[in-house]
Structure 1
Amino acid sequence: MKTHVLPDWLRRLLMCSVGHRYYTAVVTAIAFGATVTFAFPFVAVLIPAVLLSPRRWRTLGFSCGVASGCGAAVLVEIFGFLGSELILSRYPELVQSAAWQTASEWLQRWGLLALMVIAAGPLPQTPALLFCALAELSTPGILLAVAIGKTAKYLFLAWGTALYPARFVRYN
């Protein structure tokens, strides 16, 4: 049973670019886009990307982590530009969600360290980024915290996928 199914266009893009030297750049651009748009969890792309090219697990994990940090910084700037009133009026259920409550509690208590832990863990980071934008935290600090957290997470997942590919084949 497949738990994460890639769209056909994304699967074709990975398959067509895997043999080229710019494969890491393609996957990195997808990581950036997935973070900025928060359209889908990027792990659903990272695992098949590493399965297609297991020798590149280090560069994929590192570059995608940094790209996610950059994407998070851009997303925080977009949230700041749009303003809290617009965002909260369009997504009122966000403030009531458990992820929002947990993220805001952690961020108030530990600041950017909490954001780094959220980025490295399984919690959705978008509510935390929205909270950071509303709290007007430092954008370079957000970039650094998310980049460190996501890099650690992606390197671990890429390493596990490259080392034990049979356990991750169901994601492909």
Structure 2
Amino acid sequence: MKRLARLLPRLEGDLHHILLWAGDGWRLPWLCLALALLGTLFAAYPITSVVIPAVLVAPARWRAIAFAAAVGSAVGALILVLFLHHMGWGSLYAYFPQLLQDANWQRVMAWTQDYGLLTLLLVSISPLPQTPALIVLSSVPHGYLGVLMAIFIGKLLKYMLFAWVGSRFPGRLQAFLHRHGRHAGRGDSA
């Protein structure tokens, strides 16, 4: 854990440089798609931590960034459901026994059992963890297209909102960072 804590600032800095590199051309939406897919597949980081910095790098492209992140997140979720379907509950809990004690996971799993894809759509919009809903859906027969569409629609709404807000306020954010001695990294003096 200590090693990860030391590595995290470096990863954040690397991500910042990669986003700046990709921000000038066609690569940015594809990078957002790939990062959203990986972040969803491994539940490694919130995808909004990709969407917001990408929008701050290229505010005029907020729609493409949000759309690409929603596609990546939906495809990552579908791959996860397919993997979990073939893995089974026993194997999952053998690898991650702490899942049984987490109250948020238990709540989302109960909702998913009761309401199915509607829960997945609502969870994908909310800050609740979506992985438990995907675990439940992987064990019951649901159409994979339904899973893909529920995640895509929910994430598209969520990321469009975040991207729109981010595209409207980059000047204010840069001014705030400049006032507090933290520069945005591109040498801008807001």
Under a length normalisation based on structure 1, what TM-score does the superposition of the two structures give?
0.89
Q: Is residue 66–residue 148 contact of structure 1 (8 Å, CA) maintained in 2?
A: no
Which of 43, 55, 58 aligns to 2:60? It is 55
- Given the alignment, which residue of 86, 92, 100 partners 2:91? 86
Tell me how far 1:150 sits from its aligned partner: 0.5
Is 1:141 equivalent to 2:141 in the alignment? Answer: no
Cα deviation 1:112-169 (Å, max 9, x = unaligned):
0110000011101111111111224322211110111001000000001111233597
Q: Could you tell me the percent identity over the aligned residues?
A: 34
Which residue pairs with 2:181 in the alignment? Answer: none
> Are the equivalent residues in 2 in contact too, given 1:58–1:158 (CA < 8 A)?
yes
Higher relative CO (Cα under 8 Å, sequence separation at least 6) belongs to 1
1:30 Cα offset (Å): 0.9
Task: Report the alpha carbon displacement of residue 100 of structure 1 after superposing the two structures with TM.
Answer: 1.6
- Once the two structures are superposed, what CA deviation does each residue of 1:70-93 show, in whole Å capped at 9, x if it has no partner? 110001111112221110111122
Contact 1:46-1:158 at 8 Å conserved across structures: yes
Find the aligned partners of 1:19 and 1:121 in 2 and give their Cα distance: 31
Partner of 1:77: 82
Give deviations 1:79-110, integer Å, cap 9, x for gaps.
Answer: 11222111011112212211222112211222
Larger Rg: 2
My pick for the range that moved more, 105-114 or 153-162, is 105-114
Partner of 1:96: 101
Give yes or no for the alignment of 1:31 onto 2:36.
yes
Residue 14 (structure 1) aligns with: 19
What residue number does 1:115 align with? Answer: 120
Question: Which range moves more in the overlay, 79-88 or 150-159?
Answer: 79-88
Inter-partner Cα distance in structure 1 for 2:129 and 2:113: 17
1:161 aligns with 2:184: no
The answer (yes or no) to whether the contact 1:73–1:139 under 8 Å persists in 2 is yes
Residue 7 of structure 1 aligns to a residue whose secondary structure is helix
**What residue ranges of structure 2 are gaps of 5+ in the alignment?**
1-7, 178-183, 185-190
| Structure 1: runs of 5 or more not aligned | none
Is the contact between residue 161 and residue 167 of structure 1 (CA under 8 Å) also seen in structure 2?
no
Assess if the C-alpha contact under 8 Å between 1:50 and 1:158 holds in 2.
yes
CA distance in 1, matches of 2:114, 2:23: 43
Distance 2:144 2:104 in 1: 21
